[in-house]
Amino acid sequence: MKIKKIKIVRRKKEITVALIYRPITDYLTNILVRTKINPNSITSFSIIMGLISGIFFGFGEKPYLFLGVIFSQVALILDLVDGEIARTKKMTSEFGAWYDMIANKIFKYFMFLGAMIGAYRISNDPSILIVGSIAIFNITIISYISNLRVSFNFSKNYSELPEIKGLTIPFGLLVIIILDIFAIFNKVSFALWFFAIFGTFGWIKQIYSHYKLGNPIKIKG
């Protein structure tokens, strides 16, 4: 007997990543929404998947990198599903929204920490530890600045995230996808260099943009 699909409640502002993964997230949501599993449990499970992904990335060898990619994708999917279940089951809460936001940063940290360790194990180049540390710092500070803007009136409605026809491209999820692409081609060190270089420009650009928003130029006349 075919199970009747439940109408899933979407977030007000859709994200492009959610559209790409929708067939998978819709399927999981329709199954999990019928269980007693709550959204926060799914969020916790996404952190565990991120930790396992980071462990596999830490080995640095190609077979383990593929496993790291698989578990990182599971973490990403669960990060999308928990919100859908919360809205569909009317279990949204301030803590749930905060926990979801924090979880996204925790499993990204595990993944990139593992990627840095793995790249170092393969290359035996100490400089990769410096590059990896800078990459992790950049990703963390960019996320921090983005989340902090809602606390201030001058920037709470501002976003530097690119949009396509009203659909946002979230930085946190995009970071995971980029890491996974480099990992598939066994070029994790390139991902670390990428975020070490361009990530630095990213948070500097954020600070400059907020400076302009918070200090409007007064025209004399």
Q: Per the structure block, which two tokens stand in for 214? A: 């918070």
Q: Mean pLDDT across the stretch 103-116? A: 94
Q: Per-residue pLDDT for 187 more than 90?
A: yes
Per-residue pLDDT tens over the stretch 55-82? 999 999 999 999 999 999 999 999 888 8
- Residue of 149, 131, 133 whose CA lies nearest to 214: 149
Question: Residue 188 in contact with residue 128, Cβ under 8 Å?
Answer: no
Q: What is the 3-state secondary structure (H, E, C) of 142-165?
A: HHHHHHHHHHCCCCCCCCCCCEEC
| Cα Rg of the chain (Å, integer) | 19
What is the per-residue pLDDT for 1?
Answer: 37
- Determine the angle formed by the axes of helices 94-123 and 62-88, rounding to 10 degrees: 180
Name the DSSP class of 167. E
Q: How confident is the model at residue 15 (pLDDT cuts 50, 70, 90)?
A: low
Residues 6+ apart with CB under 8 A from 150: 156
Q: How confident is the model at residue 218 (pLDDT cuts 50, 70, 90)?
A: low
